[in-house]
Amino acid sequence: MEASSCLRYQVCGFGLSWIWLCLLLLHLLQNCSLVLSDSPYLVGMGSYDITGPAADVNMMGYANAEQVTSGIHFRLKSRAFIVAEPDDGKRVVFVNLDACMASQLVNIKVLERLKARYGDLYNENNVAISGIHTHAGPGGYLQYVVYIITSLGFVRQSFDVIVDGIEQSIVEAHNNLRPGKIYVNK
C-alpha cells in the first residue's frame, strides 16, 4: 500500500509540474505579441576582418599620443546585415563595426565600391554604417583633424582595411541572401 501511494504521489507530482509549466507558457505566449510577417524576406549576413595595423598606431579616440597598439588581443570585425524584399529588390544594409565609428570618407569610399560592383542597388539611402564605439582599435582612419591629431595624421593602412572589410562583409551578406522571416516583439 505504501509503494502504490508513493507511485501515485510521483505521478501526480509530475502531472502538477507539467500543468504549471503549461500554464506558465500559455501566460507568456498570451502576453507576448509576436508578429510574423506575411511575406518572406531575403536575409543575408556577412563578416570580415578589419583589425588593421597591429602595432605602433595610436588607438582611436583616447586623445593620448602615448597610447599606441602593440599587438592583437582580439580580431576586429565588420558585420553586415541585409534585409531585402524579393519582389521589387528594395533592401536595407546595416553594418556594425568593431571600431569607434565610421566617417563620411569611409561611407563615401564604401558606397563608391558598392556602386562599381552592384550599380544603384546599394546607395546612401539604404546603407547604414555604425561603430560600436570601441577605443581598442587603431585610429588614424577618419578625415577629421581633431581625431587624427593623436595618431599623427591619416593612417592609410587603418583606413584601407576598414573600407575593404566593410565592402567584403556587405558582399558576403549579399551572396548569402536567403528567404527568411522577420519577427517583431514588443
Higher pLDDT, 161 or 11: 161
Domain ranges of the chain: 41-180
d(CA 98, CA 37): 31
Which comes out higher in pLDDT, residue 90 or 64? 90
pTM of the model: 0.76
CA–CA separation, 65 and 53 (whole Å): 16
pLDDT bucket at 17, cuts 50 / 70 / 90: low
DSSP 49-88: E-----EEEEBTT---TT-EEES-SS--EEEEEEEE-TTT
- What is the pLDDT at residue 9? 45
User: What is d(CA 138, CA 114) in angstroms, rounded to the nearest whole number?
Assistant: 24
pLDDT of residue 10: 47
How many other C-beta atoms can be found within 10 angstroms of the C-beta atom of residue 160?
13
Annotated binding site: 133
CA terminus-to-terminus distance, the chain: 53
Neighbour tally for 21: CB within 10 Å: 10
Binding residues for Zn(2+): 133
